[in-house]
């Protein structure tokens, strides 16, 4: 079970991910979390830098879908102006939303990467589906109660990973 919490890759932010390298490895679809992965949970819309990032990866032929545990109102207000498909109330780490995302993107597991800021939702859900997972540093410390609980559990797991030499990076938090 604990191995399911280990991401395949770790990045300081979405902007530090090598999408050319992923594309060269056959990745053509991205399932990405919204809050504290793309933008702060308090930011209602995309930043100019995020819009540019989305344009760049889409121009590479990589499709993007937002999969979020947040409400339809929150996710739709963010995704509609960007013309990006989304799945709200995803219940990550359960597999249903990940399967639905693959279906909407018409992508295979081996062609898809999951990007998120939480081990217990994004990484665990992606790993359970056999998808390539990338954990990013949260863009903000402002979080809801359930996320704060998850972060405490994550810190314990990071400590466990570090003691066993399983961290492929230096933990920043």
DSSP conformation letters of 44-107: -S--HHHHHHHHHHHHTT-EEEEE-SS-HHHHHHHHGGGT--EE-S--TTSSHHHHHHHHHHT-
- Domain assignment present for 48: yes
Total count of domains within the chain: 1
pLDDT of residue 172: 45
* Residue 91 contacts residue 97 (beta carbons within 8 Å): yes
- Domain assignment present for 171: no
pLDDT of residue 169: 57
Give the torsion through C-alpha atoms of 40, 45, 51, 54, to 10 deg. Answer: 70
Return d(Cα 142, Cα 146) in angstroms, integer.
12
- Domain of residue 43, residue span: 2-163
The model's pTM is: 0.86
- Domain assignment present for 172: no
**CA nearest neighbour of 27 among 108, 103, 136, 106:** 108
- Domain assignment present for 169: no
- Domain assignment present for 168: no
Q: What are phi and psi of 11, to 5 degrees?
A: -135, 150
- C-alpha distances in angstroms, 71 versus 105, 124, 151, 157? 21, 21, 21, 28
Q: What CATH number is attached to the domain comprising 116?
A: 3.40.50.1000
pLDDT of residue 3: 78
pLDDT of residue 142: 62
User: One digit per residue, pLDDT tens: the chain, 173 residues?
Assistant: 567 888 999 999 999 999 999 999 999 999 999 999 999 988 999 999 999 999 999 999 999 999 999 999 999 999 999 999 999 999 999 999 999 999 999 999 999 999 999 988 999 999 999 999 999 999 877 666 666 677 677 777 767 677 777 666 554 44
pLDDT of residue 160: 67
């Amino acid at each position: 079970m604990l191995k399911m919490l280990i991401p395949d890759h770790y990045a300081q932010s979405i902007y530090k991910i090598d999408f050319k390298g992923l594309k060269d490895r056959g990745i053509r679809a991205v399932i990405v979390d919204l809050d504290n992965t793309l933008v702060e949970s308090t930011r209602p819309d995309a930043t100019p830098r995020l819009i540019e990032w989305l344009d760049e990866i889409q121009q590479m032929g990589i499709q993007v879908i937002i999969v979020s545990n947040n409400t339809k109102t929150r996710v739709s207000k963010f995704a509609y102006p960007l013309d990006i498909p989304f799945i709200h109330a995803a219940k990550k780490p359960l597999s249903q939303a990940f399967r639905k995302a693959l279906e909407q993107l018409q992508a295979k597991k081996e062609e898809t990467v999951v990007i998120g800021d939480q081990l217990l939702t994004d990484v665990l859900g992606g790993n359970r589906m056999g998808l390539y997972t990338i954990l990013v540093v949260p863009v903000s410390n402002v979080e809801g109660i359930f996320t704060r609980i998850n972060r405490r559990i994550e810190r314990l797991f990071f400590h466990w990973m570090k003691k066993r030499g399983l961290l492929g990076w230096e933990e920043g938090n």
